[in-house]
Amino acid sequence: MAGPRRGKEAAGCLLLLLAVLTCSLRCGESLKSSNIVLILTDDLDVDLGGLTPLKKTKALVGDAGVTFSNAYTATPLCCPSRSSILSGKYPHNHMVRNNSLSGNCSSKAWQSGPENQAFPIYLSKKLYQTFYGGKYLNQYGSKEAGGVTYVPPGWDQWHALVGNSQYYNYTLSVNGKAEVHGDNYEKDYLTDLILNRSLAFLDERSPQHPFFIMLSPPAPHSPWTAAPQYQKSFGDVKAPRDGSFNKPGKDKHWLLRQPPNPMVNSSIDYLDNAFRKRWQTLLSVDDMVERLVKKLEDVKELNNTYIFFTSDNGYHTGQFSLPIDKRQLYEFDIRVPLLVRGPGIQPKQTLQNPVMNIDLPMTILDIAGVNVSTLNMDGQSFLPQLVPSARNGTSRPYFLVEYTGEGHLPTDPYCPKLGPGLANCFPDCVCEDAFNNTYACVRTFKDYNLQYCEFADNEAFVEVYNLTADPYQLENIVKKVDPALLQTMNQRLIKLQSCEGKSCRDLKNTLNDRVYISAI
């Protein structure tokens, strides 16, 4: 009888082994990390209706998941903001001050420091297949920054624009080799080109490993070149005339007091034209999102892919009589769109807890299974807000926005009366920046909706806004607020300006500030 018993035991073991192998294969499939897509537009506002042309994007990403109504950039300028997104750090820690090489944009110091700890490196260690397409950092590809042969670590496929945003007549670094493009729409239009290459990447990838795609189209940044089929769109659209449009910069920093008010007609015509063209360029971005979502669906990856849609900073067109630009401390420049869809995210949600662009890498790495508590980043993961069942999370009570002003020592020959130290003086000699347009702000939502800003200038100028009573920041209430509240906000600002890593997240309210705000 021993023989048959042994035979049954052997058969049972074989069945168990087959079950274990089958389970292992299936478990391996189910445990594959989620894919991630990050679409980063350039200069897309949210306060002035920047999402209006993006109907498909709002439906396919926002309505399918979460719209964050209070998403902010750590600084309202392209290169420092993008450096924050890559590194998860405030500008005072990654040390990128502006869009120039001397301002540390894509410099050797950046490359040997923060870029060597940027989030794509961690994704690569988690065996993510990574793809980059579009604008990277404003000085990327310049000779002083290593030229087109330099490919930042962590990227498997690299299709990065050399220099600042362009739609035609640009050079790409394609995996370290220069690729020159002209002005043929079918071959060269950058928004479409990076999309098409990302779709090819999806076809060529290995299905055994997750992927990360980052697309950074030029829209809606100048020179606002729309695709041919969209160049007549929005013909009757003008910049919004409500809020702070064409208002004087009363009681504000001197740079906001220098534009003539009311604005001259030529400036208004200029900004209206820019506003229309910006919207026209966004229609191709909307097509990009639609085609990418369709492709993810076709390759059966949509249900396992998180899609983030955002911008590096906001924008203004006529607010406080400033024609067009960013760089200012006001909501229209520091608030950005943020839409997210993905596994476990319930559709049609609007979340009001504040999040920042320094939180993006922490959230992405959290999704990828990295232990984010070990990372020396200033941001925090907002995955618990996206998928509350994932784990407990906390919302920051306040945060920092900082900016280092940029100017030119020679006087602008077209605007000689303005003197030296200014920059971006257009049109009609209205300047958008200056050396002493250097500020740091505490923005808070807990208990009240307040912004407190200090300028590094010889006036030690301070601006304070109660955005519940004054959503357009028309009145600087610094002289009306209880001095105890000003002292509290100053202490918070000092702490934030020196924070690093965990200390940027461990923030607590120190006073019952409602006592002071109620008196405003």
Q: pLDDT tens per residue, the chain (520 residues)?
A: 444 444 444 444 444 443 433 333 333 334 679 999 999 999 999 999 999 999 999 999 999 999 999 999 999 999 999 999 999 999 999 999 999 999 999 999 999 999 999 999 999 999 999 999 999 999 999 999 999 999 999 999 999 999 999 999 999 999 999 999 999 999 999 999 999 999 999 999 999 999 999 999 999 999 999 999 999 999 999 999 999 999 999 999 999 999 999 999 999 999 999 999 999 999 999 999 999 999 999 999 999 999 999 999 999 999 999 999 999 999 999 999 999 999 999 999 999 999 999 999 999 999 999 999 999 999 999 999 999 765 556 678 999 999 999 998 888 888 888 889 999 998 889 999 999 999 999 999 987 899 999 999 888 999 999 999 999 999 999 999 999 999 999 999 999 999 999 999 988 654 444 444 444 5
The pLDDT value given to residue 419: 86
Q: In the block, which residue shows the tokens 């590096």?
A: 312
The pLDDT value given to residue 427: 80
Burial (Cβ within 10 Å: 0-12, 13-18, ≥19) of residue 511: middle
The pLDDT value given to residue 23: 37
- C-alpha dist (Å) from residue 229 to 16, 183, 452: 62, 15, 45
Cα(453)–Cα(447) distance, integer angstroms: 18
DSSP 342: -
The pLDDT value given to residue 510: 47
The one catalytic residue among 13, 78, 441, 504: 78
Characterize 1-32 residue by residue with b for buried, 16 or more Cβ atoms within 10 angstroms of its Cβ, and e for exposed: eeeeeeeeeeeeeeeeeeeeeeeeeeeeeeee
Within 8 A by CB and 6+ apart from 290, the residues are 56, 57, 60
> Residue 297 is encoded by which pair of tokens?
């669906």
The pLDDT value given to residue 220: 98
**H-state helical runs in 71-229:** 78-87, 91-94, 108-112, 119-125, 185-188, 190-204
Whether this model's pTM surpasses 0.75: yes
Give me the DSSP letters along 485-515.
Answer: HHHHHHHHHHHHHT--GGGGT-----S-THH
The pLDDT value given to residue 515: 41
The pLDDT value given to residue 448: 84
* Start-end of CATH 3.30.1120 domains in the chain: 403-506
Is 78 designated active site? yes
Within 8 A by CB and 6+ apart from 46, the residues are 71, 311, 314, 335, 336, 337
> Residue 15 is encoded by which pair of tokens?
């069945």
> 403-506 belongs to which CATH class?
alpha beta
Is the domain 35-396 a CATH 3.40.1280.10 member?
no
How many CB atoms are located within 10 Å of the residue 62 CB?
23
Cα(306)–Cα(38) distance, integer angstroms: 8
The pLDDT value given to residue 185: 98
* Start-end of CATH 3.40.720.10 domains in the chain: 35-396
The pLDDT value given to residue 393: 60
The pLDDT value given to residue 8: 46
The pLDDT value given to residue 390: 57
The pLDDT value given to residue 413: 84
Q: Residue 63 in contact with residue 295, Cβ under 8 Å? A: no
